[in-house]
Chain A
């Protein structure tokens, strides 16, 4: 699956302007602890989190993640959106909880 395929028919809003949404997805990685993310997430994972701060982007770019999804309708600050544009990293928000969006995306296969 690619980020683009994941976006289709999912309750996901793309909140920034990445140049591409065609990156492949390795797996979904849900965590709210950056030590877990840095230790266990892999290249091309999609991070699903309630953490809403600039460090998430630092970790995402260190690991070359494919996208980040902020759950529970997080309001994303302009500075975060700007940094994500610089990094060319797609950011999504969803009204769903972490568990619910993981389940929905996983059902895509």
Chain B
């Protein structure tokens, strides 16, 4: 059971799965742009779409630049949008440190491509209604939930 799902959630109205390849920087952003297109088609307000897009983009980039690759599950539920990112390792050693603004272990390759400001996890925490991060050497699991009609974080 996804810890980011609220108990009220029944079946997803829209369910999608994605694969993210390690270091596939050229396609980084595909999950975020697909998510954006779905939410736009569903008529969500732009500030809600922006919140979700920021969270998805940052999580997607993390899987690309920090992991060996992984998968994403997207669910548009009755009262929220929820996403789960799961990768194949190498995991995060110190989760609290990783969540701190400015902390980054990004490679010079990632930095040259404009990533690695250490803002990803803090940004996801700020824009989502719930973020849940667990990690071991076998992999990292990050889920996030965005409540529909909950527009208090309007960027």
Contacts and interface: CB of A to CB of B under 8 A. Distances in A.
A53 interface: yes
Chain B binding surface SS class: helix
Nearest to B127: A39
A62 B58 contact: no
A58 to B, nearest CB: 3
B89 interface: no
Interface stretch (A19-27, A28-36, A93-101): A28-36
Interface of A: 32-36, 38-40, 43, 49, 51, 53-56, 58-59, 61-62
Interface of B: 25-26, 28-29, 32-33, 36, 46, 53-54, 57-58, 61, 112-115, 117, 119-120, 123, 155
23 contacts: A32-B114, A33-B117, A33-B119, A34-B113, A34-B114, A35-B58, A35-B115, A35-B117, A36-B119, A39-B119, A39-B123, A40-B155, A43-B46, A55-B25, A55-B28, A55-B29, A55-B113, A58-B32, A59-B29, A59-B57, A62-B33, A62-B36, A62-B53
